[in-house]
């Protein structure tokens, strides 16, 4: 298998990941068995997997797994691949948790793979309601939650917060779609494989955030908090929406790259 790794046109990390997936073995296996030849069936599978990666398909969709918050999440093309930047949303949520009423619901709206809800539940032991409009996405989230934080997450199909009772949510989290419909980054090969509905949100990328903020004005309990991930250049616009909706304590937090990434606020 060492010969295959040396001859592969993929970069080293991708080649090793594809090989581990084809063999269904951990990375350490590659080094302890580097001299072993690969079976013809494995070689044929590797050829197909390598071509998919070379065509721009994300590695997470090829292997069906993505790492987030030191958790191994199952992913399909029905959900967005969790990004490291979204860890900023989890960090903000953890900082807000002690400051909000403890008798309301914690909601992760637009949960996708369940990454944010699962990471938050793992850290706090809190019960969370994870919602998504996509039944296929909820199936992925439910499977991840049952495996990683059994009994803590309830998955519900919902279009953002439509139908929620007033003053019922103590902490609202969301990583909604926030890319402009004409954003040139959408042409990137890897984004071509991700669900468009999880990426694009109208002409300015703020349509879903507007809906969430409007819904949150009634759904949040007094003293409750919200935190939303958004684009690096959208903090000012999101803050303006929150100000106009009557929220207080509005602030934006930067991700590890120094980009504005998460804006949070409190209900009066």
Whether the pLDDT of residue 263 is over 90: the answer is: yes
pLDDT value for 252: 98
- Among 5-9, 62-66, 100-104, 127-131, the minimum mean pLDDT is found in 5-9
For the ranges 8-17, 60-69, 238-247, which has the lowest average pLDDT? 8-17
Give the number of residues written for the chain: 268
For 208-241, what is each residue's pLDDT tens digit?
999 999 999 999 999 999 999 999 999 999 999 9
- Lowest mean pLDDT across 96-100, 159-163, 172-176: 159-163
Q: How far apart are CA 189 and CA 224, in angstroms?
A: 40
pLDDT at residue 60 in the model: 94
Closest CA to 236 of 219, 255, 252: 252
Is the Cβ–Cβ distance between 148 and 82 less than 8 Å?
no
Task: Report the phi/psi class of residue 62: left, alpha or beta, with left for phi > 0 and alpha for psi in -120 to 50.
Answer: alpha
In what helix (H) or strand (E) does residue 129 lie, and over which residues does it extend? strand 128-132
Global pTM reads 0.90
Structure-block tokens of residue 54: 């070379």
Topology classification of domain 65-266: Rossmann fold (3.40.50)
pLDDT confidence of residue 3: 79
Domain boundaries, the chain: 2-55, 65-266
Query: Which DSSP string corresponds to 84-124?
Result: GGGHHHHHHHHHHGGGS-TTSEEEEET-TTSHHHHHHHHHH
Mean pLDDT of the residues in the chain: 93
Looking at residue 190, what is its pLDDT? Answer: 67
- Report the percentage of the chain scoring pLDDT > 90: 71
């Amino acid at each position: 298998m060492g010969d295959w790794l040396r001859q592969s046109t993929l970069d080293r990390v991708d080649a090793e990941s594809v090989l581990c997936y084809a063999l269904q073995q951990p990375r350490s296996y590659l080094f302890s068995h580097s001299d072993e030849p690969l079976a013809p069936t494995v070689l044929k599978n590797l050829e197909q997997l390598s071509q998919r990666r070379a065509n721009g398909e994300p590695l997470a969709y090829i292997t069906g797994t993505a790492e987030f918050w030191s958790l191994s999440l199952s992913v399909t093309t029905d959900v967005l691949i969790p990004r490291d930047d979204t860890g900023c949303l989890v960090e903000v949520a953890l900082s807000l948790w002690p400051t909000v009423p403890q008798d309301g619901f914690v909601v992760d709206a637009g949960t996708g793979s369940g990454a944010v809800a699962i990471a938050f539940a793992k850290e706090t032991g809190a019960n969370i309601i994870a919602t998504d409009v996509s039944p296929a996405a909820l199936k992925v989230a439910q499977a991840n939650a049952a495996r990683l934080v059994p009994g803590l997450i309830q998955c519900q199909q919902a279009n953002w917060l439509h139908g929620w009772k007033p003053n019922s949510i103590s902490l609202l989290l969301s990583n909604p779609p926030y890319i402009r419909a004409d954003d040139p980054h959408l042409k990137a090969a890897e984004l071509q494989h991700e669900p468009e509905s999880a990426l694009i949100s109208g002409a300015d990328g703020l349509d879903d955030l507007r809906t969430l903020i409007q819904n949150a004005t009634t759904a949040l309990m007094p003293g409750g908090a919200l935190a939303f991930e958004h684009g690096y250049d959208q903090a000012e616009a999101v803050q303006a929406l929150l100000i106009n909706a009557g929220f207080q304590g509005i602030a934006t937090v930067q991700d590890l790259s120094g980009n504005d990434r998460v804006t949070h606020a409190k209900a009066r």
